[in-house]
Chains A and B, each alone.
Chain A
Amino acid sequence: MNNIAVYLEIEEGIVADVSLELLTKGRSLAHQLKCKLEAIAIGSGLNNIAPQVFPYGVDILFLVDDKRLYPYTSMPHTSVLVKLFSEEKPQIALMGATSIGRDLGPRVSSALFSGLTADCTSLEIGDYEEKKEGKVFKNLLYQIRPAFGGNIVATIVNPEHRPQMATVREGVMKKEVFDKNHKGEIKKLDVKNYVPDTDFVVKVIERHMEKSKVNIKGSPIVISGGYGMGSRENFDLLFNFASVIGAEVGASRAAVDAGFADHERQIGQTGVTVRPKLYIACGISGQIQHIAGMQESSMIIAINNDPLAPINAIADYVITGNVEEVIPKMIKYYKKNSK
């Protein structure tokens, strides 16, 4: 009772990274709150879910298995969560800020009248004082998220209603195995008791999901290009550099919008969050929304022809110069000095 619940997103039997990241966060919050971590898998053919999630510290895994529950549709998954949450009364419920989590979360929160904060970038535990009535609420979930296009950061709380619900984007939280031998308990729920037949009103008649080709999140070195790269052709310089040193190529939104790079490479508030060992920002000015997605990199090198570019303030090395000139030299001197 009053545990932390994480909704698992599952595609072809594989639990999504974003869910594993939330389990990692959920595990540490559960530790702090001295409660259990629950995971909920709703879908079809779920026999392989337990070994995927138990290492992340799941204490109780709920399984609702039925052919009609995959692929995801809104109403049946909503019904399971609404009833299960009414029974289990979790204090916190987390899901990915993905097209599934952002379809499901609001519906569940509306049915339960519990607040939901979208796209949190940080989750913490803390107290809240309601000044007007002088009430103090202990151990609430601080749902921290950027607002107003990233120009401010707001901390949101849900003092009176449960569960406290939040969605988080992929890559924002770290994914870390808790204990590879950890085993939790499995509870199978009968779909009949949770989903009325009338929920199956929307049918998926065609579906093409692509596996992501790039893995910028997992790469120890990220070379990112911005609008200052000037063209898609110039981005080849970055791909070349990346293949030489074993890196992945990222991009700013301005570069993506200009068509220099594909959307899945976008880093920042509305793209992925990366925290590599080394981040090389090439022709990126360093607006708040971009920095939000890379500021935790261990080392940052900024290459920009403007000595006053904002990115320079957070960089360990500032190279003032043109990308067209600097990057070929980096490749050249890397090749000369390595081995």
Chain B
Amino acid sequence: MGLQIVVLAKQVPDTRNVGKDAMKADGTVNRAALPAIFNPEDLNALEQALRLKDKHEGSTVTILTMGPGRAAEIIRESLYRGADNGFLLTDRAFAGSDTLATSYAISCAIKNFPKVDLIICGRQAIDGDTAQVGPQVAQKLGLPQITYAEEILDLKKDVITVKRRLEKGVEVVEGKLPMVVTVNGSAPDCRPRNAKMVMKFKHAKTVSEKQEGNQDYTELFDTHPYLNITEWSVNDIKSDADWLGLKGSPTKVKTIESVVFQTKESKKLTADDFDIESLMRELIANHTIG
């Protein structure tokens, strides 16, 4: 029997390469200046899912992402690497969601799937660095969780064995499916795109994307139904509006400031013997060292 695996993946601004132009004069972030990428640890999560699929015949890997229309890019990226299908959860009603409202929407979407054995997500997303969505989705679905996974060691029947990488060591834990697993960046990298899959899925599109161009995709999608990336709006999930978006977000951003450091009046020295010796004498004399 194959496994039904859902991978949660997010498109994020690349905060690792924030250049000077990424900050506006008023100290806010210029999102447009940051390239949107596949959240790095979600790729590690995808790889763990694909490895399970390789081992367990008949398994399906489904990508679920919540975000704006262009987040369909990471669904295609996943299809190129071996995922089977993808769902984009997108609606203005989700705007302003904090992690709690996000996990609520995602958990409602997951309930749309007839059967889910395993939900695999990244440990954390680099835009917020919160690592909250995985455990919150688990709680909302009433499922157990294994966080900080570095490797899924084994899965037999419904028992999963996972190696966790923690800041001070490693742990091997065992649990029963269904389960939520969050994967660390220390896990193996995701496999590259597969040329055949790129050919197969390069025209995969959401309904909105199909409408953007002036090309008629009707025939192509009728004969190749797997090219459809399903788009879900708030009407496609069973949810309570009070728990979504800004309303469903208990945390509010009070202020945002750009970071300024106290600059100091510094003494300038050279690498000359005289300068260094005077400095060391001074540090010894005022008991800073020694």
Contact size range, A = 35 or more
Q: In the bound complex, what is the Cα–Cα distance between A305 and B262 (angstroms)?
A: 22
Closest B residue to A104 by beta carbon equals B135
Number of interface residues of B (CB under 8 A): 78
Q: Is the CB of A113 within 8 A of B100?
A: yes
CB-CB under 8 A from A221, the residues of chain B are: 289
> Does A99 lie within 8 Å of B147, measured CB to CB?
yes
CA distance A299 to B266 in the complex (A): 11
Q: What are the interface flags for A185-211 relative to B under an 8 Å C-beta threshold, 1 for contact and 0 otherwise?
A: 000000000000000011111111111
B254 touches A128 (CB 8 A): yes
Which of A210, A291, A320 is the one whose CB lies under 8 Å from B168? A210
Contact with B along A93-128 (1 / 0, CB 8 A): 000001100111111011101111111000000001
> What residue of chain A has the Cβ atom nearest to residue B159's Cβ?
A203
CB <8 Å contact, B250 and A158: yes
Whole-angstrom distance between the Cβ of B9 and the nearest chain A Cβ:
18
Please determine whether A291 and B261 come into contact, CB atoms closer than 8 angstroms. Answer: yes
Q: What residues of chain A lie closer than 8 Å to B284, measured between beta carbons?
A: 334, 337-338
Complex Cα distance, B169 from A74, in Å, reads 17
Task: Give Cα distance in the complex from A302 to B129, angstroms.
Answer: 30
Complexed CA–CA distance, A249 and B35 (Å)? 36
C-alpha gap A155/B171 in the complex (Å) = 35
Determine if A208 and B170 form an interchain contact, defined as CB atoms under 8 angstroms apart: yes
Choose one: B100, B134, B288; the contact of A278 (CB below 8 Å): B288
Partner among A142, A208, A316, A325 whose Cβ is within 8 Å of the Cβ of B266: A316
B55 contacts partner chain A, Cβ-Cβ < 8 Å: no
Q: Assuming A155-B253, A203-B173, A210-B169, is B15 touching A149 (CB within 8 A)?
A: yes
A64-114 residues at the B interface, CB under 8 angstroms: 71, 73-75, 78, 98-99, 102-107, 109-111, 113-114
Binds B, one of A28-36, A41-49, A172-180, A307-315: A307-315
Chain B interface (Cβ within 8 Å of chain A)?
Answer: 13, 15-16, 18, 22-23, 27-29, 98-100, 103, 126-136, 138-140, 144-148, 161, 164, 166-176, 249-259, 261-264, 266-271, 273, 275-277, 279-281, 283-284, 288-290
- Taking A201-B144, A210-B169 as given, write out 9 further A-B residue pairs in contact, using a Cβ cutoff of 8 Å, ordered by the A residue number: A73-B173, A103-B147, A105-B132, A106-B136, A142-B254, A152-B28, A152-B259, A205-B172, A221-B289
